[in-house]
Amino acid sequence: MNELNLAQALNGALDTALSSDDRVVLLGEDIGRTGGVFRITDGLADKYGTDRVFDTPVAESGIVGAAFGMAIAGMRPVAELQFMGFSYPAYDQVINHVARIRNRSNHRFTAPLVIRIPYGGGIGAAEHHSESTEAIYAHIPGVKVVVPSTPRDARGLLLAAIEDPDPVLFLEPIRLYRAIKEQIPEIYYRVDIGPVRVERQGVDVTLFGWGAMMKETRQAASALEEEDISVEVIDVRTLTPLDRDGIVASVEKTGRAVVVHEAPLTGGFGAEIAATIQEQCLYSLLAPVQRVTGWDTVFPLKRSEGHYLPSVDQIIAAARRTLEE
């Protein structure tokens, strides 16, 4: 066991993957010499050599397209895009090629690659450095979208993603990289892609979240419990394929749900969860599913971040609204 934060857990998972599978290579901007802008690949170029860990030119479509070709030819590339706001030049590669080669070739060619993308706000960064556009990826059939929120899940999900026979977008919550530490087994273990994780059991209301917003979600849950409200907390973890059964089971029990994400409300992935809940358990619903989200505006610069990001209080208020009705 090792007490690690999320960034260290990811670094360890990549290290494990490189050492246990020759087909694994890493590529991305500045991931070699500097170990990436968030140091997630720190030390790996030194340890495995520049024939396994590649610094690339500044070209996101090139990175993903090259990783895609490598995956077809039998390797297990793990590409890093520096920030989610710089992932869009590769969007065409993801939706038109990475997500489709299995379909296009009826299983003959496949693209088992992982694209790691640091995402989310809260660090007062420059424009485009705080994006949370998981919804535009979760709408693409053919790629899986995974978002860990704990060091333990981070390691297990990343190893599962690298092993997965299909492409996985692995979204890393920037503001949690160094926020929490956890005891993590050093062994090779997987956390299944798919199932949600029930983090805390309760009977009055379910809070759904993923990634960085799990922090506020947990805090809200603790505050509500102090008022003797029994809160179920679910870390969705995998946006696609979505564990609808896990979501519905919880709401059938509690009858109340709040979905939390930092992306703008309109067309955010919270809509999918709310729509699913009302479809599958409308008659168990005691109140409308509440969405606590970012606003329908461009993620703001440092001075306005406080206006933008959903707060613990907003989550508490939303939960209360479900209980009042």
Partner 1 sequence: MFGLVNSDGSVRDRLPITVEDMRDLYADMVEARTYDEKSMAMQRQGRLATYAPFRGQEAAQIGAAAALHEDDWVVGTYRDAALNWRAGYPWRLLVLGRTGDERGGELPEGVNVLPPSITVGGHMIHAGGLAWAEKLQGSERIALTSFGDGATSEGDFHEAMNFAAVFATPTVFLCQNNGYAISYPTAEQTKSKTIAAKAEGYGMPGVRVDGNDVVGVLVAVREAADRARKGEGPSLIEAVTYRMGPHTTADDPTRYRDEAESRDWEDRDPLLRVRRLLEKAGGWTDEWQAELEKAASRVIEEAVEWAEDVPEPTFEQMMGRVFAERSRSPTQQPDGAADE
Site for a copy of itself in 279-298 (CB under 8 A): 279-280, 282, 285, 287-291, 296-298
- Interface positions, 108-167, toward a copy of itself (CB under 8 A): 127-128, 133, 135-136, 138-139, 141-142
Active site residue 129: yes
If one asks whether residue 86 binds ligand TPP (CB under 6 A), the answer comes out as yes
Decide whether 249 or 271 has the Cβ nearer to a copy of itself: 271
Q: How far is CA 132 from CA 58, 263, 265, in A?
A: 22, 5, 11
Q: Which stretch binds ligand TPP (CB under 6 A): 10-18, 82-90, 132-140, 241-249?
A: 82-90
- DSSP of 201-235, one letter per residue? --SSEEEEE-GGGHHHHHHHHHHHHHTT--EEEEE
DSSP secondary structure of 68-107: HHHHHTT-EEEEE-S-GGG-GGGHHHIIIIITTHHHHTTT
Q: In what order do the strands lie in the sheet with 205-209?
A: 197-200, 231-235, 205-209, 257-264, 290-294
* Distance from the Cα of residue 216 to its chain's centroid: 16
Q: In this chain, which of 15, 30, 225, 252 binds partner 1, going by CB under 8 A?
A: 30
Query: Of partner 1, ligand TPP, a copy of itself, none, which one does residue 230 interact with (CB within 5 to 8 Å by kind)?
Result: none
Pairwise CA distance, residues 119 & 212, whole Å: 9
Among residues 145, 159, 254, which one has the least CA distance to residue 198?
254
Q: Does 37 bind a copy of itself (CB under 8 A)?
A: no
- Asked if residue 91 binds ligand TPP (CB under 6 A), the reply is no
131 contributes a contact to ligand TPP by CB under 6 A = no
Q: Minimum Å distance from CB 58 to ligand TPP? A: 4
Of 107, 128, 129, 307, which is the active-site residue? 129
Q: What residue type is 312 in one-letter code?
A: V
Q: Is 222 in the site for partner 1 (CB under 8 A)?
A: no
In eight-state DSSP terms, residue 12 is H
Taking CB under 6 A as the binding criterion, the range among 15-23, 39-47, 68-76, 81-89 that sits at the site for ligand TPP is 81-89
The footprint of a copy of itself on residues 242-261 (CB under 8 A) is 242
* CA gap 85, 49 in Å, rounded: 29
| Residues 290-319 as x/- pattern, contact with partner 1 by CB under 8 A | xxxx-xxxx-xxxxxx-xx-xx--x--xx-
Please identify, using beta-carbon distances, which residue of 185 and 298 lies nearer to partner 1.
298
From candidates 58, 73, 123, 298, binder to ligand TPP by CB under 6 A:
58
Q: Is 105 in the site for a copy of itself (CB under 8 A)?
A: no
Q: Using CB under 8 A, which of 3, 43, 49, 109 touches partner 1? A: 109
Contact between 126 and ligand TPP per CB under 6 A: no
**Owner of token pair 């890493």:** 26
d(CA 213, CA 202): 19
Paired tokens of 159: 């190893």
Report the number of secondary-structure helices (H) and strands (E) in the chain.
12, 14
28 is a site residue for partner 1 (CB under 8 A): no
Residue 104: count of CB within 10 angstroms of its CB: 12
Catalytic positions are 129
By CB under 6 A, name the binding residues for ligand TPP. 29, 58, 60, 82, 86, 89
